[in-house]
Chain A
Amino acid sequence: MTATSALLLCALVVAIAAFLLDRLRGRFAPSRASLAPPKGSARAGVLYAFTRAFAPTAKESASRHLPTYAAGIAYHLAIFAMLATLLASLGGAAIPRAVAGSEAVLFAVGTACGLGLLVKRRLSPNLAAISVPDDVLANALVDVALATGLVACLVPGALPAFQVAGAALLLYAPLGKLRHMWYLLASRSRLGATLGRRGVRPAARPIGSGHD
């Protein structure tokens, strides 16, 4: 194992341990299951939350902001691919040529989307009002990891730099806003379960429909 692979592995272990520790510490009172009889299905609500709720037509916040929605989707697809590539690189081997080309495109698009979202954050008064340095740092760490991943796809000798950037990203993940990657799953399923139990989602009719 190369030194940078070892660094990446350590960072991965630290990140997972930090998330698990946060979970196992039980700092917060557990959320209790609702005792009110359901009107709908919690399971259907959770399933909805992780499937159709991602569609741009499911939420006004997506359908009214399609460029941002598309950028967000592309950014996160690139991030997932980047994390998978980092994991696969732990053996120290170069990125396989069969996937390097398509990954390079995905990482390039992801980097551009990340930078675009950062620019939007600076330009939008609503976003600027709530932004903190963590927003820039988190975005920068991800963008650098994507960009070095892009280079590593094209230049096999750049893999160590990609791994170092990935390690930095993983070490920061449990600390700043990047930790949403962990908490999003529980948040989404909890809200989905509540809306499902109450029979609100999935909607019986097309969402956002107007006149009958």
Chain B
Amino acid sequence: MTDHNAAPVSLGDAAEVLRSRLDARTAGFLNACVRCGLCADTCHVHLADGEAASTPAAKVERLARLFRRQHTLLGRLAPRLVGAEAVTEESLRALADAAFGRCTMCGRCALNCSVGLDPAALMRFARAILTAARLVPPGIAANAAAALATGNSMAIPPEEVRETIAWLEEDLRATVQDPSAAMPIDRPGSRVLYAINPRELKFFPLSLSAAALVFHVAGESWTLTSTDFDITNYAYFAGDAAGARAIAGKLLRRAEELGVEELVVAECGHGFRTLRWEAADWLGRALPFPVRSFVEVVADYLAQGRLRLDPSKNPAPVTLHDPCNLVRNGGVIEEPRTVLRRAVADFVEMTPNRADAYCCGGGGGLLAASEHTARRLAAGRIKAEQIRATGARVVVSPCHNCLDQLLELNRHYDLGVEVRTIAETVADALVLPGAATA
């Protein structure tokens, strides 16, 4: 994966991926599209820019044209009749514009496809072709390369992880006024390995502190790891299956080394999706432990009475942004609501919500693709309008990618809201042992 514009495009490698890596599912989707175009206004990118090239059907068609030329009889004999195109630099750059510049792989169009195909899966395959062609945005490629080389996408060394956790642990002890409170790290035999997004260590330590407080109050046996802790997977965004397998494999091996009974994934949509739903298939074996989102775990703690929350501690109106990879593509739909209804005094839904929610515009790795920043912010207009319509003063989202985008949308569209994680919201509502409920 190298430079988006400067490096030579590898036509042969791209054609080889198109020829040999297509599976029956993907080929079936490409054969099934009838270009009805009814998906158009289900896509936040098209709704925001109004361009014909931004409809899901148009994005699928960019890939389907290459497919038809390579894999269908009429595509070879009468390419103009069926709109087939050869793999050329021009056709690949058009595909890159569609798959990286106009699609966050949020999957909303899949739920609305009249035929029943999955355009997001097709865009992932398109990205695999573009990885082979060396047309991946350099920011996405760099993050994936860092994760492969160092065990996390921000190349944070283990010593820095331990130092950061040490000062967060001091904060935890002060908060709960218990000198024995701990943020265990690299502790074998813990029940839970809590795997995190490296951005939490660098930029969002409060979300990590909040999760630690929740685990502490719930009496969980848990640990962090100073190595291979990264739940993010930029190779997945690049459509690089081998890289995605390697990145997920590092964390899963670390969990096995520590002998944990469960892997709990911090608030990260694609991190959850890759580890919960994709990793076993990449590795070709069932995982030896369940993988759950932190949000699911908190919902369980509440159900088991292991946490007491006082919603009056979060009095401002709160709305929830559903991360596409956690909700629509991950199935964690009601748990965030269960938690927020217990944690805040005034919870208001966006419309539409749950699996039908609009993408914030920051999915698909676009936050790392600076060449698409303007489009990303423009595509976020739909989400900004949804947020404004709720009248909420706080937007909660259990995904750090979404949080970054929402923070930018907050500034760009002058929303005047606070953006936070579920962990932070729950931590603020926690009734600590020994304290009285308000």
Instruction: Report A's interface with B, CB cutoff 8 A.
Output: 27-32, 34-37, 39-40, 49, 53, 59-62, 64-65, 68-69, 72, 124-135, 137, 175-177, 179-180, 182-184, 186-192, 194-195, 198-201, 203-205, 207-212
Q: Please give the distance in Å from B347's CB to the nearest CB on chain A.
A: 8
Instruction: Find out whether the CB atom of B331 lies under 8 angstroms from the CB atom of A61.
Output: no
Instruction: Find out whether the CB atom of A205 lies under 8 angstroms from the CB atom of B354.
Output: yes
Given A29-B22, A36-B277, A187–B116 Cβ distance below 8 Å? yes
Q: Which residue of A lies closest to B117 (CB)?
A: A187
Residues of A within 8 A of B58 (CB): 126, 129-130
Within 8 A of A (CB), among B260-298: 276-281, 284-287, 290
Query: Can you list, as one digit per residue, whether each of B345-373 has a CB less than 8 Å from chain A (1) or not (0)?
Result: 00111011111100000000000000000
Instruction: Find out whether the CB atom of A28 lies under 8 angstroms from the CB atom of B331.
Output: no
- In the complex, what distance in Å separates the CA atom of A30 from the CA atom of B37? 28
- In the complex, what distance in Å separates the CA atom of A24 from the CA atom of B22? 16
Given A183-B32, A192-B116, A210-B351, A35–B281 Cβ distance below 8 Å? yes
Residues of A within 8 A of B228 (CB): none
- In the complex, what distance in Å separates the CA atom of A173 from the CA atom of B32? 12
Residues of B within 8 A of A182 (CB): 31
- Among the interface residues B276, B327, B355, which one has the most CB atoms of the partner chain A within 10 A? B355
Given A27-B71, A208-B352, A211-B349, A184–B277 Cβ distance below 8 Å? no
19 A-B contacts, Cβ less than 8 Å apart?
Answer: A27-B27, A28-B23, A36-B281, A49-B116, A62-B114, A72-B36, A130-B52, A130-B61, A135-B35, A175-B73, A176-B74, A183-B31, A184-B116, A198-B329, A200-B327, A204-B333, A204-B334, A208-B352, A210-B349
Given A31-B23, A64-B41, A210-B351, A191–B117 Cβ distance below 8 Å? yes
Residues of B within 8 A of A69 (CB): 38, 114
Q: Please give the distance in Å from B29's CB to the nearest CB on chain A.
A: 5
Instruction: Report B's interface with A, CB cutoff 8 A.
Output: 21-29, 31-42, 52-53, 55, 57-58, 61, 71-74, 80-83, 110-118, 276-281, 284-287, 290, 327-331, 333-334, 347-349, 351-356
Q: Please give the distance in Å from B326's CB to the nearest CB on chain A.
A: 11
Q: Please give the distance in Å from A90's CB to the nearest CB on chain B.
A: 27
Residues of B within 8 A of A191 (CB): 110, 113, 116-118
Instruction: Find out whether the CB atom of A200 lies under 8 angstroms from the CB atom of B355.
Output: yes
Instruction: Find out whether the CB atom of A207 lies under 8 angstroms from the CB atom of B356.
Output: yes
Residues of A within 8 A of B57 (CB): 126, 130
Given A49-B116, A126-B55, A187-B116, A132–B83 Cβ distance below 8 Å? yes
Instruction: Find out whether the CB atom of B117 lies under 8 angstroms from the CB atom of A208.
Output: no
Q: Which residue of A lies closest to B348 (CB)?
A: A211
- In the complex, what distance in Å separates the CA atom of A31 from the CA atom of B22? 10
Instruction: Find out whether the CB atom of B27 lies under 8 angstroms from the CB atom of A28.
Output: yes
- In the complex, what distance in Å separates the CA atom of A30 from the CA atom of B23? 6
Q: A69-B114, A208-B352, A212-B349 are in contact. List 15 more A-B contacts (CB 8 A).
A: A27-B71, A31-B23, A34-B277, A35-B286, A36-B280, A126-B58, A130-B37, A186-B32, A187-B29, A190-B25, A191-B110, A191-B117, A204-B334, A205-B354, A212-B347
Instruction: Find out whether the CB atom of B35 lies under 8 angstroms from the CB atom of A131.
Output: yes
- Among the interface residues B25, B32, B334, B351, which one has the most CB atoms of the partner chain A within 10 A? B32
Instruction: Find out whether the CB atom of B82 lies under 8 angstroms from the CB atom of A59.
Output: no
- In the complex, what distance in Å separates the CA atom of A128 from the CA atom of B33? 15
Q: Which residue of A lies closest to B58 (CB)?
A: A130
Instruction: Find out whether the CB atom of A200 lies under 8 angstroms from the CB atom of B331.
Output: yes
Given A31-B24, A34-B277, A65–B116 Cβ distance below 8 Å? no
Given A31-B23, A134-B83, A180–B52 Cβ distance below 8 Å? no
Instruction: Find out whether the CB atom of A30 lies under 8 angstroms from the CB atom of B82.
Output: no
Residues of A within 8 A of B281 (CB): 32, 34-36
- In the complex, what distance in Å separates the CA atom of A208 from the CA atom of B111? 11
Given A28-B24, A134-B82, A177–B116 Cβ distance below 8 Å? no
Instruction: Find out whether the CB atom of A129 lies under 8 angstroms from the CB atom of B39.
Output: no
Instruction: Find out whether the CB atom of A177 lies under 8 angstroms from the CB atom of B352.
Output: no
Instruction: Find out whether the CB atom of B81 lies under 8 angstroms from the CB atom of A34.
Output: no
Given A59-B114, A132-B81, A31–B25 Cβ distance below 8 Å? yes
Residues of B within 8 A of A132 (CB): 35, 80-83
Q: Please give the distance in Å from A22's CB to the nearest CB on chain B.
A: 9
- In the complex, what distance in Å separates the CA atom of A127 from the CA atom of B56? 11
Instruction: Find out whether the CB atom of A28 lies under 8 angstroms from the CB atom of B22.
Output: yes
- In the complex, what distance in Å separates the CA atom of A198 from the CA atom of B28? 21
Residues of A within 8 A of B114 (CB): 59, 61-62, 69, 72
Residues of A within 8 A of B38 (CB): 61-62, 65, 68-69
Q: Which of A128, A180, A199 contacts B333 (CB 8 A)?
A: A199
- Among the interface residues A31, A177, A191, which one has the most CB atoms of the partner chain B within 10 A? A191
Residues of B within 8 A of A34 (CB): 277, 280-281
- In the complex, what distance in Å separates the CA atom of A53 from the CA atom of B280? 29
Q: Which residue of B lies closest to A192 (CB)?
A: B116
A-B pairs, 4 with minimum CB distance: A132-B83, A188-B116, A210-B351, A129-B52
- Among the interface residues A34, A35, A124, A209, which one has the most CB atoms of the partner chain B within 10 A? A35
Residues of A within 8 A of B32 (CB): 180, 183-184, 186-187
